[in-house]
C-alpha cells in the first residue's frame, strides 16, 4: 500500500460482529474469561484493548515498522524509552529539543544516575567526543523544536551501530508522511501523537515504533508495568485523524512554504527558521531524508525586542496563541515562556532561542488569510 491507502486501511478491519466499517470504541476495563487463562486474547485493558491494537498496527505501518506501542502522552513514550536504561548509563541528546524532553531528562532521570549530554548534532562527527562505554542511547529530534535544525539520521545511525548504541528519533515535526527514521537506520521512532497524527487538537497521546522484536517486548513490558496507556476513546479519535494525515500534511507543507517566504521578505522580521530555504545550514540533508519541509516555522522580530514579539502574538487572530502544534488550525507560541520555559535561559540562548522568538504551527486555512493576519499584527510594531 502507498501512504494514503495505509493511512486509511492499515491495521483496520470491519468489526466482525456487526460489520461496522469504523473501529469500535471498546470502552471496557476487563474481559470475560471462559476459564482462568482461557480468553479471546484480552484480559485487562491496561495490557490490551482492541481499539488501541488497531491504532498501534496502523502507526507501525505508517512508519514502515513492525511493532507500535501507544502511551498516554508523548512524554509517557519518552519515559518508557529511558526506562530501558540503568544508573550509570549515558545518553547523547540534541541540544535543541522540546522543553518537556529536556525536563524529564534533567529533572527526573538524572536523579536516578543517568547522565545526559546535550550537543549540536547537525555535524554527526561532533558526537565522537561524547561516546564511551557507558553510552547506551542517542536521542535526536529532526527538525528540532523550535530552531528547525536538521539532523542527518542515516549518518548518526551508522555511528550508533558502530558503537552498539540505541538510536531514537522524535519524528513529531516531520510525521511519517515526510520522513521515516526506521528506514534510515534508527532503532526507535517516537511521536507526540497529540500533534499532527491526531491533527485536531483533541487528544493527548504518544507512540513508539520499532522493528526489533526483543526491543518491542521490552517496551511493551514497560508500557504494561508502568501503565501510561491511552484510553480507547482517544485511540478512536487518532485513528479517525490519521485517515486524513496525507491530505493535511500536503496543505501544511504548502502553507508553511508560503508563510516562510512571506516572513523572510517582511521588513520587520530579522530571521526565519525553516529547513526549506536553500541557505538553511542543513537544507541538503533535509532534502535528502524528507519528502517536504512541513508547517513549523520560527522567526525573530527585527530588533529582538520581547515587547514587540508579545504585541505581535497578542494581536494575531487566525494564529491562536496556545501551547502545542500540528492541528488543522494555526497556532503561535512563545517557546521561552511556554514550551521551553523549563530550559535555563543561558542554555536556550546558546542555540539561538532568544526571548523574542515566535514559533508558528501553520494550519490548513486559506493561506491568504494567514498572511493578512501576520501582516496586520506586524504592522503594530
Which residues are marked as active site? 46, 98, 170, 195
C-alpha cell at 350: 546558546
Spatial CB neighbours of 190, under 8 Å, sequence gap ≥ 6: 74, 77, 78, 81, 168, 169, 170, 171, 172, 206, 207, 208
Q: Are 361 and 333 in contact (CB under 8 A)?
A: yes
Alpha helices for the chain (secondary structure H)? 3-9, 50-62, 74-82, 99-103, 153-162, 175-178, 213-226, 232-242, 245-264, 283-289, 306-314, 345-350, 367-378
Q: Which residue has the cell 507512540?
A: 207
Residue 349 DSSP one-character state:
H
Which residues on neighbouring strands pair with residue 320, listed in sequence order? 331
Contacting residues for 350 by C-beta, under 8 A, at least 6 apart: 95
Cell numbers describing residue 340: 521551553
Distance from C-alpha of 332 to C-alpha of 370, rounded to nearest angstrom: 12
| Grid coordinates of 69 | 506501542
Nearest to 304 by CA among 346, 351, 353: 353
- For 12-72, the DSSP string reads ----TTT--SSPP----SB---SBTTBSSS-SBTTT--HHHHHHHHHHHHHTT-SEEEEES
Amino acid at each position: 500500500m502507498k501512504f494514503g491507502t495505509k493511512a486509511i486501511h492499515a491495521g483496520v478491519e470491519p468489526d466482525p460482529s456487526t460489520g461496522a466499517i469504523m473501529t469500535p470504541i471498546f470502552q471496557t476495563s476487563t474481559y470475560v474469561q471462559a476459564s482462568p487463562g482461557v480468553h479471546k486474547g484480552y484480559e485487562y485493558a491496561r495490557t490490551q484493548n482492541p481499539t488501541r491494537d488497531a491504532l498501534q498496527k496502523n502507526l507501525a505501518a505508517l512508519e514502515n515498522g513492525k511493532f507500535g506501542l501507544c502511551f498516554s502522552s508523548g512524554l509517557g513514550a519518552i519515559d518508557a524509552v529511558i526506562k530501558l536504561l540503568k544508573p550509570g548509563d549515558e545518553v547523547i541528546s540534541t541540544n535543541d529539543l522540546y522543553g518537556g524532553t529536556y525536563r524529564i531528562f534533567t529533572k527526573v532521570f538524572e536523579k536516578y544516575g543517568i547522565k545526559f549530554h546535550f550537543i549540536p548534532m547537525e555535524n554527526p562527527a561532533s558526537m565522537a567526543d561524547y561516546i564511551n562505554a557507558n553510552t547506551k542511547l542517542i536521542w535526536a529530534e529532526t527538525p528540532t523544536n523550535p530552531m528547525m535544525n536538521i539532523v542527518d539520521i542515516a549518518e548518526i545511525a551508522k555511528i550508533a551501530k558502530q558503537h552498539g548504541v540505541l538510536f531514537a528519533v522524535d519524528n513529531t515535526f516531520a510525521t511519517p508522511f515526510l520522513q521515516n527514521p526506521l528506514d534510515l537506520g534508527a532503532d526507535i521512532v517516537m511521536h507526540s501523537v497529540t500533534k499532527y497524527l491526531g491533527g485536531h487538537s483533541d487528544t493527548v497521546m504518544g507512540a513508539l515504533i520499532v522493528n526489533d522484536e526483543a526491543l518491542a517486548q521490552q517496551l511493551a513490558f514497560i508500557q504494561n508495568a508502568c501503565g501510561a496507556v491511552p484510553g480507547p476513546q482517544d485511540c478512536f479519535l487518532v485513528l479517525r485523524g490519521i485517515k486524513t494525515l496525507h491530505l493535511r500534511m500536503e496543505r501544511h507543507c504548502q502553507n508553511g512554504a508560503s508563510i516562510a517566504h512571506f516572513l523572510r521578505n517582511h521588513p520587520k522580521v530579522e530571521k526565519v527558521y525553516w529547513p526549506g530555504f536553500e541557505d538553511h545550514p542543513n537544507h541538503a540533508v533535509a532534502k535528502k531524508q524528507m519528502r517536504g519541509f512541513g508547517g513549523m516555522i520560527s522567526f525573530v522580530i527585527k530588533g529582538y525586542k520581547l515587547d514587540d514579539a508579545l504585541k505581535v502574538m497578542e494581536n494575531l487572530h487566525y494564529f491562536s496563541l496556545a501551547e502545542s502544534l500540528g492541528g488543522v488550525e494555526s497556532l503561535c507560541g512563545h517557546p521561552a515562556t511556554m514550551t521551553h520555559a523549563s530550559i535555563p535561559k543561558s542554555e536556550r540562548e546558546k542555540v539561538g532561542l532568544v526571548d523574542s522568538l515566535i514559533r508558528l504551527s501553520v494550519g490548513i486555512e486559506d493561506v491568504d488569510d494567514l498572511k493578512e493576519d501576520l501582516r496586520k499584527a506586524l504592522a503594530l510594531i
